């Protein structure tokens, strides 16, 4: 009688085959999930790009006709008198420039405090960071209403300075966040080397840390500028607007967002065309700022 001996390898063969089949099914499932997720990502990307390009297409189609010399040299005039947007453009530049000049230094100093003085008072640091984050997420219309109550009502009149103050409150939290994040990326060894060479703390922060993070800090300021360039609600409560030349900060001042808001709902074709042109100008300006920011970030990463 012949006896058959089952070796250990033969006993393990069915198990290994079953394990291989199970791994194959699991691998197919993972591939299917990966393809579905990739397809969803591509679909979402295409949808966002279509929305963006459709907005840009509508702006260019309706606003490019108003890009004439008259638009940049004439002030806003009554309907039918071939007015322009010169006072609104100048008013927006003045108010956003003042907002950055007021808000950027404050945000820079607060960001330095949050990044470099964490060991001094933890409770105060957390409170300042909480207030900064709260201000970053606050609706802009509430900021405008706040400046209206503390500046416009006591003074008794609207002014471009009040509008700049409202916009500066929107600049501060953006600069605070970017400054703190950029300073935290500076290696600790650079700080220790500066202190070991005998540099005082303020000199180490000013000439070592800020010098190393200057591109990121400048990027944050440009992002803040891009955010406030198209704000309308705060200016309705503060600078109000002006149909004439208005370059005095203590008087009501025109601005592109407010002019667009007023002209877009008008029943006059020339005012509606100027509203589209103003929207195109703001969009082009913000787009150029964002492109500059992207180029700066790319250079900083390299």
What share of the chain in percent tops pLDDT 70? 89
The CA angle 195-199-205, to the nearest 5 degrees, is: 80
What mean pLDDT is predicted for residues 142-158? 95
What mean pLDDT is predicted for residues 161-181? 95
Q: Which is higher by pLDDT, 82 or 166? A: 166
pLDDT of 300: 56
pLDDT of 1: 47
Instruction: Provide CB contacts within 8 A for 225, sequence distance 6+.
Output: 96, 100, 171, 289
pLDDT for 18-64, tens place per residue? 554 556 678 888 899 999 999 999 999 999 999 999 999 999 999 99
Return d(Cα 182, Cα 197) in angstroms, integer: 23
What mean pLDDT is predicted for residues 279-297? 84
Supply the angle between the helices 214-229 and 86-116 in degrees, to the nearest 10: 140
pLDDT of 22: 54
Return d(Cα 157, Cα 139) in angstroms, integer: 23
Supply the angle between the helices 269-301 and 214-229 in degrees, to the nearest 10: 170
pLDDT of 102: 96
What mean pLDDT is predicted for residues 109-132? 87
pLDDT of 103: 96
For the chain, the domains span: 28-66, 69-301
pLDDT for 226-269, tens place per residue? 889 989 999 999 999 988 888 999 999 999 999 999 999 888 99
Architecture category of domain 69-301 in CATH: Orthogonal Bundle (1.10)
Which residue's structure tokens are 């010399």?
A: 69
pTM: 0.83
pLDDT of 167: 96
pLDDT of 23: 67
């Amino acid at each position: 009688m012949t006896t058959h001996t089952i070796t250990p390898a033969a006993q393990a063969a069915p198990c290994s085959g079953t394990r291989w089949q199970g791994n194959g099914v699991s691998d197919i499932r993972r591939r299917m999930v990966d393809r579905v997720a990739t397809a969803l990502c591509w679909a979402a990307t295409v949808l966002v790009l279509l929305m963006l390009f459709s907005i840009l297409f509508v702006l260019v189609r309706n606003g490019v006709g108003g890009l004439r010399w008259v638009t940049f040299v004439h002030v806003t005039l009554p309907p039918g008198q071939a007015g322009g947007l010169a006072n609104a453009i100048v008013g927006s530049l003045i108010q956003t420039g003042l907002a950055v000049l007021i808000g950027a230094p404050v945000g820079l100093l607060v960001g330095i405090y949050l990044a470099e003085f964490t060991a001094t008072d933890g409770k105060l640091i957390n409170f300042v960071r909480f207030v900064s984050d709260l201000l970053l997420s606050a609706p802009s219309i509430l900021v405008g209403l706040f400046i209206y109550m503390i500046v416009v009502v006591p003074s008794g009149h609207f002014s471009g300075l009040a509008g700049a103050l409202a916009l500066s409150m929107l600049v501060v939290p953006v600069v605070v966040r970017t400054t703190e994040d950029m300073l935290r990326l500076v290696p600790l060894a650079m700080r220790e080397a500066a202190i070991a060479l005998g540099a005082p703390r303020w000199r180490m922060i000013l000439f070592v840390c800020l010098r190393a993070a200057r591109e990121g800090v400048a990027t944050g300021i440009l992002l803040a500028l891009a955010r406030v360039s198209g704000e309308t609600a705060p200016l309705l409560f503060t600078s109000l607007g002006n149909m004439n030349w208005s370059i005095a900060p203590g008087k009501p001042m025109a601005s592109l967002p407010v002019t667009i808001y007023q002209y877009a709902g008008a029943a006059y074709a020339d005012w509606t065309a100027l509203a589209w042109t103003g929207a195109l100008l703001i969009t082009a300006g913000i787009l150029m700022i964002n492109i500059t920011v992207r180029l700066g970030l790319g250079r900083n990463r390299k």
